[in-house]
Amino acid sequence: MNLRKIFLTVLVGLTVYANSFAQYSSDLRINEVQAVNENGLEDQFGDHVPWIEIFNTAYNSINMQGLYLSNDPSNLTRYKLPYDTRFKIPQRSHLVFFCDGNSNKGNFHTNFQLDSEGVVYLVDGDGITIIDSVSYSFSKADISYGREDDGANKWIYFESGTPQQANIPAQSNHNAESFLEYDPIGIGMAIIAMFVVMSALVLSYLTFKYVSRLYRSDWKKKKVIAETNPEEEESESISGEVAAAIAMSLHIYVHQMHDLEDTIITIRKISKTYSPWSSKLYMLRPWPHKKN
């Protein structure tokens, strides 16, 4: 029975362990495409050729060996990725394939070429399951079509491709541009922002002014005092000198606190220093000597 339990535990443990390192090709995405490349990325021979970028959305590495790339819906197994250790994509990383129809240039070159308009497929090892696909159309050279952010659902055109890098759209800040357009001297920003800052801090002021009374521990007591003598609290302001004296007294009380001197003696150190008065030798009666 015990052996059976151990066996099951080990089995479950191994399954969990194996799953934690499992490679799911479904986590792969076609991330970016550039079908008309005139001045963009160069391959290892210095040629500008179409390329696609695959992104691993998972947090473990995935080996793409055995998967298929294609641009033909009637032939999804057009290019099978051969055995190559470089096809293992680390977590959250990219891998670029050159789609130039020239696979004898190396494993990263597919045997089909991308046109300015078409579809790209990433197909699982069974040759049937489409992991990801994208339709594209390029009207001019050197732009790319990619996901707005790595692995995101939305596709946008990039002014220039970002192969092997995170997809970051061209820096255009519409917020700032609109502020510049409608509020060139910044007065609108100043008014809005000061209004918001003031609102936040006025709200804080009101909260701590009124709401804080609800949780002040001495609230009831103070209320009673206020009801009996409303002027008393006003007149009871303590001067700075008195406050300083109280603070000093408290400081001395806390930091120099000791026992009451007339009732308790605190012995901090016990040592047995030599003294003839406590010497055993002197306290003993001398050994009687026999006198001849």
Partner 1 sequence: MDFFEFLFDRFQQFIGYTAFGNMTWGHIIMIAIGLIFIYLAITKDYEPLLLVPIGFGILVGNIPFHPGLKLGVYETGSVMNYLYFGVIQGVYPPLIFLGIGAMTDFSALISNPKLFLIGAAAQFGIFGAYMIALFLGFTPQEAGAIGIIGGADGPTAIFLSSKLAPDLMGAIAISAYSYMALVPVIQPPIMKLLTKRRERIIRMKPPRAVSKREKILFPLIGLLLTCFIVPSGLPLLGMLFFGNLLKESGVTKRLADTAKGPLIDIVTILIGLTVGASTQATTFLTMKSIGIFALGAGSFVIATTTGVMFVKFLNLFLKEGRKINPLIGNSGVSAVPDSARVSQMVGQQYDKSNHLLMHAMGPNVAGVIGSAVAAGILLGFLY
* 199 touches partner 1 by CB under 8 A: yes
State which of residues 11, 14, 193, 245 lies at the interface with partner 1 (CB under 8 A). Answer: 193
State in angstroms the smallest separation of the CB of 199 from partner 1. Answer: 6
Q: What number of chain residues touch partner 1 (CB under 8 A)? A: 42
Site for partner 1 in 213-272 (CB under 8 A): 215-218, 234, 237-241, 243
Q: Given the rule CB under 8 A, which of 93-101, 191-199, 224-232, 259-267 is the region that contacts partner 1? A: 191-199
Interface residue with partner 1, options 3, 16, 185, 257 (CB under 8 A) = 185
Give 30's strand partners. 54
Closer of 238 and 252 to partner 1 (Cβ):
238
For the chain, give the secondary structure using H, E and C.
Answer: CHHHHHHHHHHHHHHHHHHHCCCCHHHEEEEEEECCCCCCCECCCCCECCEEEEEECCCCCEECCCCEEECCCCCCCCEECCCCHHHEECCCCEEEEECECCHHHCCCECCCECCCEEEEEEECCCCCCEEEEEEEECCCCCCEEEECCCCCCCEEEECCCCCCCCCCCCCCCHHHHHHHHHCCCCHHHHHHHHHHHHHHHHHHHHHHHHHHHHHCCCHHHHHHHHHHCHHHHHHCCCCHHHHHHHHHHHHHHHHCCCCCCCCCCCCCCCCCCCCHHHCHHHHCCCCCCCCC
Q: Which is nearer to partner 1, 6 or 206 (CB)?
A: 206
Among the listed residues 8, 22, 197, 224, the single contact to partner 1 using CB under 8 A: 197
C-alpha R_g of the chain: 42
| Separation of alpha carbons 89 and 64, rounded Å | 7
CB of 242 to partner 1, least distance (A): 9
Residue 14 or 206: the one with the smaller Cβ distance to partner 1 is: 206
Is the CB of 6 or the CB of 224 nearer to partner 1? 224
For residues 110 and 124, give the distance between their C-alpha atoms in angstroms, rounded to a whole number. 16
Q: Which is nearer to partner 1, 214 or 283 (CB)?
A: 214
Interface with partner 1 includes 176 (CB under 8 A)? yes
Of 46 and 184, the one with the shorter C-beta distance to partner 1 is: 184
- The residue within the footprint of partner 1, chosen from 211, 257, 265, 283 (CB under 8 A), is 211
| Min separation Cβ 85 and partner 1, Å | 24
Residue whose CB is less far from partner 1, 12 or 202: 202
Give yes or no for residue 170 binding partner 1 (CB under 8 A): no
CA-to-CA distance for 20 and 60, rounded, in angstroms?
9
- Contact call for residue 204 and partner 1 (CB under 8 A): yes
Task: Work out which of 6, 12, 200, 245 binds partner 1, going by CB under 8 A.
Answer: 200
Distance CA 130, CA 121 (A): 7
Q: Of 20 and 173, which has the nearer Cβ to partner 1?
A: 173
Q: Enumerate binding residues for partner 1 (CB under 8 A).
A: 173, 175-177, 179-180, 184-187, 189-190, 192-194, 196-209, 211-212, 215-218, 234, 237-241, 243
